[in-house]
Chains A and B, each alone.
Chain A
Amino acid sequence: MSDIRDARTDDAPASSAKDRPVRDEATDRLVDAKGGHVVGRSVTINKPAAELFAYFRDFSKLSSFMENVVRVDVRDGSRSHWVVKAPAGKTVEWDARITEERDGELIAWTSEDGADIDNSGRVEFRDAGARGTVVTATIAYDPPAGTIGKLVAKLFQREPAIQARRDLRRFKQLMETGEIATSSRTKAQLEEEKA
């Protein structure tokens, strides 16, 4: 009987666990966890993993689909400097270091000491045959000023969970269609939307 009890009967990924500690523990194993707030999201993109990885790996291009990223300055093969929009017209900055990289498969990073927001993450690219590639992003972060800060950020839609979801959709649009969908009618509206 014991082997039946021990057998896994739930194949759902840890990122969807109802139990917060289970979710956090699983994420801790994945990334160099910085704080307890964790985001896990998958999207399937109809392109080969190598192509997606190559675009993503050039961090200087991330601002093309990551709406809150003002810019990423690439310092060397593993180090970069991030400037990111924060609520109330402010920006936050940090240096990041790549902690793990497998060509065409995986990039993981962590923020260095002194970051405005401690964060770490991991993006995996898994071949999905005729469907393309499953891209999974796992991000851990310390929201500015704890839970209150998170609420404020959410009001301004700068909350990382919402952002991660939308950024992944924009990445998919850019890779699949060559552009990012907008319902703006004029250039002025588009600028306003991006601001």
Chain B
Amino acid sequence: MRALTWHGKHDVRVDTVDDPEILNPRDCIIKVTSTAICGSDLHLYDGFIPTMQSGDILGHEFMGEVVEAGPRSTLKKGQRVVVPFTIACGSCYHCGKHQYSACDNGLPADNQDIAQELYGQPMSGLFGYSHMTGGYAGGQAEYVRVPFSDVGPIVIPDGVEDDKVLFLSDILPTGWQAAENAQIEPGDTIAVWGCGPVGLFAVQSAFLMGAERVIAIDHFPHRLELAKKFGAETINFEESAVYEALMEMTGGIGPDACIDSVGLEAHGFFVDNVLDQIKKSTFLGTDRIHANRQAILACRKGGRISMPAVYGGFVDKWPLGAFMEKGLTLKTGQTHVQHYMPALLNAILEGKIDSDFLISHRLPLEQAPDGYKMFHDNQNEVTKVVLKPDLAVAAE
């Protein structure tokens, strides 16, 4: 089959590799019909995530048609499914509590060593996201082997097009969980850093959960426009000072909850961000956390910080003092996708959540490397690239 493979920083290629096979009783094989490039794939593209190996197949947002099901899979050949990016067993203690991304058994036993060393305990497996998260082949391919297919994938009713439901795989539940972690109360003002897909879904989710105002922060005009479309007020951090603006917009109180959906590659020319970049290049710290610092400083006393953004390692100059003195609460984590999928599928079918607005580009799988470059170089226009293995390659 054809698959998008990683070979190093800014080097991804479409290669021919062996087709996947059923290896465990609960596996299924799906033929991919749509697969997106995620903002967090750019962290891999930029070489920020350790334990990648040359030839790894990327992609963790995908859906397709079941072409083969193992004896203990509950899926049937021909069913269309969206696959959660988290690989979780459904039977351990954590899955029992619906903390799917903390699953004990999603990672192969040998891969658990790295995460145990770095984080204290191993987490669930993830598709196409380094060997620390299992080394599972990802979905930017023609076919994927899906473990625990009786627990993860959700069946999509006939007649609902891919583009409407594809984002159930990651970014929609991630935006929703981000809003849930912000513990929104009616009348609240919520500030969202980063108007990428997760931030934009967090904006929609926050309103559905009863927020009175949502203030969205970014520097890409097109992304701010989209946030406005969903009812958010906006701050362009290239034009305005974020802390001052937030304090003025909230009458000196600060937002009740702040959502950091920026993560370890924060953009922007701020003093502490530049310091972070210097430290990063000299290996003194691994993650850049400018947005997170701003969120802690601006958040109202006793407020909540929700952090869906991806961080991988250690940070420097995190304002622990402000965090403590103000009595803030921080909730974070990879998304418990399996927990949110059924309700969010209904919300899409009922028209409460708009998701396909996000797709700016559709490309054949063969042009995936162009998709990465485009997404990486132009984050204003390119909000989401969806790869379609069946799409014909356009003539040059």
Binding site for B on A (CB under 8 A): 44, 46, 131-132, 157, 162, 165-167, 169-170, 172-173, 176-188, 190
- For window 210-237 of B, CB contacts with A under 8 Å fall at none
| Inter-chain contact A177/B91, CB cutoff 8 Å | yes
Name which of A165, A180, A181 has the most chain B CB atoms within 10 A of its CB: A181
| Inter-chain contact B125/A179, CB cutoff 8 Å | no
The 5 closest A-B pairs by CB, nearest first: A169-B109, A179-B24, A166-B109, A183-B135, A183-B136
Task: Let me know if B134 is at the binding interface, CB within 8 A.
Answer: yes
Residues of B within 8 A of A172 (CB): 92, 104-105
- Bound-complex Cα distance A177 to B24 (A): 11
Q: Can you sample 28 A-B contacts with CB below 8 Å?
A: A46-B91, A46-B93, A132-B93, A162-B113, A165-B113, A166-B109, A166-B110, A166-B112, A166-B113, A172-B92, A173-B105, A176-B92, A177-B26, A177-B148, A178-B26, A178-B72, A179-B24, A179-B25, A180-B24, A181-B105, A181-B134, A182-B23, A182-B108, A183-B108, A185-B20, A185-B145, A187-B21, A187-B23
Residues of A within 8 A of B135 (CB): 183
Task: Let me know if B18 is at the binding interface, CB within 8 A.
Answer: yes
| Inter-chain contact A185/B125, CB cutoff 8 Å | no
Q: A170-B109, A178-B72, A180-B109 are in contact. Are A186 and B20 (CB under 8 A)?
A: yes
Residues of B within 8 A of A131 (CB): 93
Residues of B within 8 A of A182 (CB): 23-24, 108, 147
Q: A181-B125, A185-B21, A187-B23 are in contact. Are A176 and B109 (CB under 8 A)?
A: no
| Inter-chain contact A181/B26, CB cutoff 8 Å | no
| Inter-chain contact A46/B96, CB cutoff 8 Å | yes
Task: Let me know if B183 is at the binding interface, CB within 8 A.
Answer: no
- Additional pairs, 7, CB under 8 Å, beyond known A167-B109, A184-B23: A46-B91, A172-B92, A181-B24, A181-B87, A181-B147, A182-B108, A185-B137
Residue ID in chain A nearest B90 by CB atoms: A177
Residues of A within 8 A of B108 (CB): 180-183
B interface, how many residues as a size bin? 35 or more
Residues of B within 8 A of A177 (CB): 26, 89-92, 105, 148
Residues of A within 8 A of B125 (CB): 181, 183
- Bound-complex Cα distance A170 to B105 (A): 9
- Bound-complex Cα distance A190 to B20 (A): 11
Residues of A within 8 A of B20 (CB): 185-186
Among B25, B104, B145, B147, contact of A176 (Cβ-Cβ < 8 Å): B104
Interface string of B89-125 (1 = CB under 8 A from A): 1111100100000001111111111000000000001
Residue ID in chain A nearest B24 by CB atoms: A179
Task: Let me know if B248 is at the binding interface, CB within 8 A.
Answer: no
Among A157, A162, A181, contact of B107 (Cβ-Cβ < 8 Å): A181
| Inter-chain contact A173/B109, CB cutoff 8 Å | yes
Residue ID in chain B nearest A128 by CB atoms: B93
Q: A177-B105, A178-B72, A186-B19 are in contact. Are A44 and B26 (CB under 8 A)?
A: no
Residue ID in chain A nearest B25 by CB atoms: A179
Residues of B within 8 A of A179 (CB): 24-26
Q: Is the interface of B mostly helix, strand, loop or mixed?
A: loop
- Bound-complex Cα distance A167 to B113 (A): 12
CB of A185, distance to nearest CB on chain B (Å): 5
Name which of A179, A186, A190 has the most chain B CB atoms within 10 A of its CB: A179
- For window 11-37 of B, CB contacts with A under 8 Å fall at 17-21, 23-26
- Bound-complex Cα distance A85 to B112 (A): 22
CB of A163, distance to nearest CB on chain B (Å): 10
Interface string of B63-79 (1 = CB under 8 A from A): 00000000010000000
- Bound-complex Cα distance A162 to B110 (A): 9
Residues of B within 8 A of A180 (CB): 24, 108-109
- Bound-complex Cα distance A124 to B92 (A): 20
CB of B26, distance to nearest CB on chain A (Å): 6
Residue ID in chain A nearest B106 by CB atoms: A181
CB of B74, distance to nearest CB on chain A (Å): 13
Among B17, B89, B96, B134, contact of A183 (Cβ-Cβ < 8 Å): B134
Name which of A132, A157, A162, A185 has the most chain B CB atoms within 10 A of its CB: A185
CB of B387, distance to nearest CB on chain A (Å): 19
Residue ID in chain B nearest A167 by CB atoms: B109
- Bound-complex Cα distance A96 to B23 (A): 33
- For window 44-85 of B, CB contacts with A under 8 Å fall at 57, 72
- Bound-complex Cα distance A69 to B21 (A): 26
